[in-house]
Amino acid sequence: MTDDLTRLTAADLAARLTAREVSSVEATQAHLDRIAAVDGAVHAFLHVSTDEALAAARDVDSRRSVGEDLHPLAGVPIAVKDVVVTKGIPTTAGSRILEGWVPPYDATLVERLKAAGLPILGKTNMDEFAMGSSTEHSAYGQTHNPWDLERIPGGSGGGSAAAVAAFEAPLAIGTDTGGSIRQPGAVTGTVGSKPTYGGVALRAHRHGVLARPGGPRHPFRARRCVAARADRRARPPRLDLDRGALGPVGGRSAPGRSG
């Protein structure tokens, strides 16, 4: 059950949740178990929010059980890049400068994730203050590409992309000014989307997203595949990350050579 749930696309998992074939607690716990099993090698996460994620999942399950009309993705767990402010959860932007800071408020996009009922699994690693393209320059250690642990996952949002590629999360939030979502997506074999400027409400992509030199950040998400809107039957790539030291499978070369 755990392996099945962690390998579903977000759309497929959402459909199973809506059909009450599985609970959000089960789905969230499956991903937390996956994080515990593989993130020591991948290092996609800087902080895992076990209690908060399970509490959010229980709330969704309770509301669904009484027939409440929920967001289509309610109950689907998600990871959030550590440049995005989260109330009560440490936020560092990959820097020792912010070590120990626990924000007293949520970024607008986090408020909206919570309102939609997506349990937040934790905060993902990144190049310090998003200044980098390999996630080798986090003050808390580099993130590794799940296809090949000797290679980079891209950056600055390599933690979010690696979390999705390693089946630690079905979705992850990143930010992008010059490629920090799209490039890690390409390097890890996931899909990283950057919206057109203004495609996400300006308050949503500015309030609570920590600044970097060079311009505003665009928050959006990484995912394993683009689910077909008509039938939602798209499938993630067959990455057997439990075999070969989380390495590549079936003779495919791993994306993202370091250096």
Please give the pLDDT value at position 89. 96
**CA angle (154, 103, 144) in 5-degree steps:** 20
Bridge partners, residue 219, by sequence: 175
Which has the higher per-residue pLDDT, 215 or 47?
Answer: 47
Instruction: Please tell me which residue in 49, 134, 156, 160 is annotated as part of the active site.
Output: 156
- Mean pLDDT, rounded, for 152-177: 94
- Gap between the Cα atoms of 169 and 39, Å rounded: 11
- Mean pLDDT, rounded, for 35-40: 97
Please give the pLDDT value at position 115. 95
CATH superfamily of the 2-223 domain:
Amidase signature (AS) domain (3.90.1300.10)
Please state, as a whole number, how many other Cβ atoms lie within 10 Å of the Cβ of residue 251: 5
- Average pLDDT of the chain to the nearest whole number: 83
Please give the pLDDT value at position 195. 78
- Gap between the Cα atoms of 86 and 209, Å rounded: 10
Please state, as a whole number, how many other Cβ atoms lie within 10 Å of the Cβ of residue 51: 8
The three-class DSSP label of residue 84 is strand
Lowest mean pLDDT among 28-37, 113-122, 222-231: 222-231
Active site residue 156: yes
Give yes or no for residue 183 having a pLDDT over 90.
yes
Q: Where are the domains of the chain?
A: 2-223
- Mean pLDDT, rounded, for 71-91: 96
Q: Please tell me what DSSP assigns to residue 98.
A: G
Q: What percent of the chain has pLDDT over 90?
A: 68
Q: How confident is the model at residue 18 (pLDDT cuts 50, 70, 90)?
A: very high
Give yes or no for residue 80 having a pLDDT over 70.
yes
Instruction: Please tell me which residue in 95, 133, 134, 180 is annotated as part of the active site.
Output: 180
**CA angle (92, 138, 239) in 5-degree steps:** 105
Q: Where are the alpha helices (DSSP H) in the chain?
A: 2-6, 10-18, 24-42, 50-65, 108-116, 158-165, 182-188, 202-206
Instruction: Please tell me which residue in 23, 81, 134, 138 is annotated as part of the active site.
Output: 81
Please give the pLDDT value at position 54. 98
- Gap between the Cα atoms of 173 and 65, Å rounded: 28
185-239 confidence digits (pLDDT tens): 999 999 888 877 766 665 655 688 886 655 555 555 555 543 322 222 333 333 3
Please give the pLDDT value at position 209. 85
Q: Which residues are within 8 A (CB) of 161 and not within 5 positions of it... i.e. 6 or more apart?
A: 153, 154, 172, 174, 181, 184, 185, 187, 188, 190, 192, 222
Please give the pLDDT value at position 253. 37
Please give the pLDDT value at position 245. 36
Lowest mean pLDDT among 57-71, 98-112, 244-258: 244-258
Which has the higher per-residue pLDDT, 172 or 178?
Answer: 172
